[in-house]
Amino acid sequence: MKILDANVAPLTNFEVLDFLRSKGASKDPSRVIAKVAMSEYKVYDYLVNTSANVQTREDIAEYLSGIKLHDLSEAEILNIVNIRPAAVVEIYPIIEECPDRFPDEEVTEIVELVEKTLPTVTINETAVENTEGDEETDTQAHENGNVSQEKTEGEEPMDTS
């Protein structure tokens, strides 16, 4: 195999996730079926919990056609696709010198375009991905009321009421 053009363009998180899925990465607990390196599984595990998991090529193409109206660099466009900001305040760290380059109305337009074209991850979608492992995180246990009151020798439990 011959590489024609190395490093032609940076990839979105969606494209990386799509590539890993094409190699066979999945939530298979044994992870021995696919020819995917452990480091690639770590990337896969991260990306399935981001908006890249619910994006499609059509979503990104629609976003790219709409964002052409704004004077953004390729890196800024890529970061917006990957981070998927949901509020105006989240745009400012992504766009260099944002207050100087864009009026507030244009920044609001960019956020509205993102909300309209790029889907977001909901809690239920990430919960479905995480149901394969039966472990319950400390946060989940606390929210579900499954926090155990461990009592060590000689100590009385703390009253939290």
Q: How many domains does the chain have?
A: 2
In this predicted model, what pLDDT tens digit does every residue of 42-66 receive, in sequence order? 888 899 988 888 999 999 999 999 9
> What angle do helix axes 57-67 and 74-83 make, rounded to 10 degrees?
140
66 and 38 inside one domain: no
d(CA 94, CA 90): 7
pLDDT at 124: 53
Per the prediction, the chain carries an average pLDDT of 77
113 and 61 inside one domain: yes
Residue type (1 letter), 75: A
71 and 95 inside one domain: yes
Residue pointed to by tokens 């380059």: 101
Q: Is residue 154 part of a domain?
A: no
Q: Is residue 139 part of a domain?
A: no
Q: Is residue 111 part of a domain?
A: yes
68 and 111 inside one domain: yes
- Domain of 69 in residue numbering reads as 57-117
Q: Is residue 19 part of a domain?
A: yes
In this predicted model, what pLDDT tens digit does every residue of 80-129 receive, in sequence order? 999 999 999 999 999 999 999 999 999 999 999 999 998 887 755 444 44
72 and 107 inside one domain: yes
Q: What angle do CA 128, 61, 36 make, to 5 degrees?
A: 50
Q: Is residue 41 part of a domain?
A: yes
Other CB atoms closer than 10 Å to residue 75's CB: what's the count?
Answer: 12
pLDDT at 44: 87
Q: Is residue 22 part of a domain?
A: yes
**Residue 81, both tokens:** 């696709």
Q: Is residue 64 part of a domain?
A: yes
Instruction: Tell me the backbone φ, ψ of residue 114, rounded to 5 degrees.
Output: -60, -45
> What angle do helix axes 57-67 and 104-117 make, rounded to 10 degrees?
160
